[in-house]
Amino acid sequence: MDNHTPSTKTISLEKYGIKNAQIHYQLEPKQLQAITVEKGMGKETSNGTLAINTGKFTGRSPEDRFLVKDDYTKDRIWWGKSNKPISPENFDFLQGEIEAYLSGKEVFVRDGYVCADPNYKMNVRTVTQYPWSNMFIYNMFLRPSEEELNNFEEEWLVLCAPGYECPNPEEHGLRQGNFSILNFTKKIALVAGSAYTGEMKKGIFTALNFILPVEKNVLPMHCSANVGENGETAIFFGLSGTGKTTLSTDPDRQLIGDDEHGWTAENTIFNFEGGCYAKVIDLSEEKEPDIYRAIKPGAILENVIFKDNGDVDYFDSSITQNTRVSYPIYHIDNIKTPSFASNPKNIFFLTADAFGVLPPISKLTPAQAAYHFISGYTAKVAGTEAGVVEPQPSFSACFGAPFMPLHPGEYADMLSKKMKDAGVNVWLVNTGWTGGPYGVGTRMKLKYTRAMITAALTGQLGNYTYEDYHIHSVFGVAQPRTCPGVPTEVLSPRTTWNDDKAYYDMAFKLSNAFRENFKQFESGASEEVRRGGPQRYGY
């Protein structure tokens, strides 16, 4: 278990413009939980876990996230919907507003760091208005030793003031009163007007997604990772609902981390974080035993509903579908300590294809891997959002578009080069539908998906030859003809449909969606990568 690093050190915030504040420095989680409960800002579940409500915002507000556009960033960041600019002058004004707002108040300060590989460690000091926000940072960032604390100098500063809202947002480049802003020159992140803790986590993740590739030659990845007894590392990319957490949690492999990692020039895969931040809607011990058992004192539940006996009703979404828990990674039993490993050998792109046309597993060429990485495909099914009555494709570049400041092609080029240099196998895994689209077919059985991933990890899917693989006629990917523990007919999506015309109609519909989505990236992608996607529109 990590050291809670209680500290007798005292600090001043005067150099940040925060004056006459009552400063609580590096409190232990149990102290922060007690203060939260005493202040009526949260309550404890029947097993002693802290539960809080994040208020108006129960998720990130991507429309209110900004990056400072200055001489350092103006020509590097891919400005657009996900990366909206704000001027240095407006940032300075808002920073001054937050500093004045926090002055004279009770504040909570935590020193921690991100990036588990010592060669890439980045110290972060976080100042929060709320005690439970500070406890969240304890859970999610890496925890320094007492010796490291004594010599701590922050590289980045996070100021989190949920109670402050800008009274005249349009005058200062904002959409509304809340905001999340990164300044890469001053190395400061501002979060205001929203108590949703993920804004802090994803703010630093976004910062690393710029700093690591631009300054350190490290590929940042929105993925989970684990390592086997043979020392071979596997990486799992996937959007919500594709099985990223479930499939990377394997009793025979150690978990490196569940969400954010870097891939170094030395072929090390390291966790950015010191904890996990998981969805808990519909959670059960049977479906997600590791997450369920990690919810104990030290964890923080967000926006959940209680039963009369003090237990949590994980099936109640009356506040939000985005109910969550954060916990330090040591709440999981089978973890890699420290949380980095070398020798990446397999990458899995997970997609829940509700069209039911992608193979359950297929092997990708480097160009195809780059193309599918840029695309970041999964699908929405009927009922997940208002107005969704049939499967709809959903694309998120690099499986994390809202957090990627550079053009997706830059990350894809890095991935492609690292794949080739390391001799990594890349697999596209469909955890979605088979035998027809959503509403007609059935969800791929988890035991089959696990068997396919195990076969890929252990080299049981044959050689990359015609005898062992079939090239899909629409998507061009190589699907294995056999796999231990999986019926042969399951490996061919066309065979499971029993209606060739209906299958190919749907396959071309999805392939056209891929091509249409990729148009926005063509100018920044190489010809090799552009040819990695489906090449046909229809019959």
Task: Confirm whether 30 is a catalytic residue.
Answer: no
* Closest residue by Cα to residue 203 from 189, 222, 219: 189
Q: Which of the following is catalytic: 201, 324, 336, 345? A: 324
Task: Confirm whether 259 is a catalytic residue.
Answer: yes
Strands, E assignment, 41-187: 42-44, 50-52, 65-68, 84-86, 106-114, 122-128, 156-161, 179-183
DSSP 297-324: BTBEEES-EE-TTS-EETT--SS-S--E
Beta carbons of 395 and 377 less than 8 angstroms apart: yes
Strand pairing report for 305-306 and 312-313: antiparallel
Task: Confirm whether 375 is a catalytic residue.
Answer: no
At residue 165, the 3 state secondary structure works out as coil
Q: How far apart are CA 267 and CA 263, in angstroms?
A: 6
Count the residues in the chain.
539
Q: Which of the following is catalytic: 64, 111, 259, 290? A: 259
Q: Which of the following is catalytic: 84, 143, 222, 363? A: 222
* Cβ-based burial of 454 (10 A; exposed 0-12, middle 13-18, buried ≥19): middle
Q: Which of the following is catalytic: 201, 244, 331, 530? A: 244
Q: What share of the chain is helix, strand, coil (3-state, %, to 5)?
A: 30, 25, 45
Residue indicated by tokens 């129960």: 58
Q: Which of the following is catalytic: 245, 246, 264, 434? A: 245
Q: Which of the following is catalytic: 240, 337, 442, 488? A: 240
Q: How far apart are CA 426 and CA 366, in angstroms?
A: 8
Task: Confirm whether 202 is a catalytic residue.
Answer: yes
Q: How far apart are CA 86 and CA 67, in angstroms?
A: 6
Q: How far apart are CA 181 and CA 94, in angstroms?
A: 10
For residue 154, what is the DSSP state? -
Q: Which of the following is catalytic: 143, 201, 202, 261? A: 202
For residue 64, what is the DSSP state? G
Question: Which helix (H) or strand (E) is 376 found in, with range?
Answer: none
Sequence-ordered list of residues with C-beta below 8 angstroms from that of 274, at least 6 positions apart, any chain: 2, 112, 116, 139, 140, 141, 142, 143, 328, 329, 339
* Closest residue by Cα to residue 3 from 105, 149, 103, 115: 149
Task: Confirm whether 380 is a catalytic residue.
Answer: no
Instruction: Write b or e for each residue in 299-312: b if 16 or more Cβ atoms lie within 10 A of its Cβ, otherwise e.
Output: bbbbbbeeeeeeeb
Task: Confirm whether 324 is a catalytic residue.
Answer: yes
Beta carbons of 225 and 271 less than 8 angstroms apart: yes
Question: Which helix (H) or strand (E) is 22 found in, with range?
Answer: strand 22-25
Instruction: Write b or e for each residue in 122-154: b if 16 or more Cβ atoms lie within 10 A of its Cβ, otherwise e.
Output: bbbbbbbbbbbbbbbbbbbbbbbeeebbeebee
Beta carbons of 242 and 394 less than 8 angstroms apart: no
Q: Which of the following is catalytic: 45, 58, 60, 117? A: 60
User: Which residues are tagged catalytic?
Assistant: 60, 202, 222, 240, 244-245, 259, 324
